[in-house]
Amino acid sequence: MKSFKTIICALTLGAALVGTTATAQAAGDAAAGEAFYNTEIAGNKYAKSAPGYNKVGCVTCHSSNLRNNGAHIKTGKIIGPMAASAGRISLGGKTYTRFTDNKKMAKWFKRNCNGVLGRECTPTEKDNFLAFVKSK
């Protein structure tokens, strides 16, 4: 009887682990998202529009520490921390929580991916980016 219980336990644990792995993959790869975030690209639209910046990536405006404020490279406008753990952010008279407003996310993904990559981000790039910022 004892060994029977052990087997059931092992099977349940195995199933739980498989489930966790599958979910983590579906939600994006944080390490890939980090690499993507930190890649600065020469001569893109943002680099051309901001004097003094030859290369621009997500990190250039959003800061290398996700818990710090960033700053827009062209306008100098402060950008609240990207880390999801920053909680509610107040900027320009508006208060919001990071990565909860799908319309806002779609708008900024579109604008910033075009500015940095010259195209929209792929669903995988977005998932990886979100996995990274949500891990901080």
Interface with ligand HEC, residue 105, by CB under 6 A: yes
Does position 122 interact with ligand HEC (CB under 6 A)? The reply is no
The DSSP annotation for 37-90 comes to: HH--EET-HHHHHSTT-SEE-HHHHH-SSTTS-EE-TTT--EE----GGG-EEE
* Binder of ligand HEC out of 28, 30, 47, 58 (CB under 6 A): 58
46 counts as binding ligand HEC under rule CB under 6 A:
yes
Residue 135 and residue 29 in contact, taking contact as beta carbons nearer than 8 Å = no
Pick 112 or 127: Cβ nearer ligand HEC: 112
Site membership for ligand HEC, residue 131 (CB under 6 A): no
The answer for residues whose C-beta is within 8 angstroms of residue 7's C-beta and 6 or more apart is none
Interface with ligand HEC by CB under 6 A: which residues?
Answer: 46, 56-58, 60-62, 72-73, 79-80, 91, 98-99, 101, 104-105, 108-109, 112-113, 115-116, 129
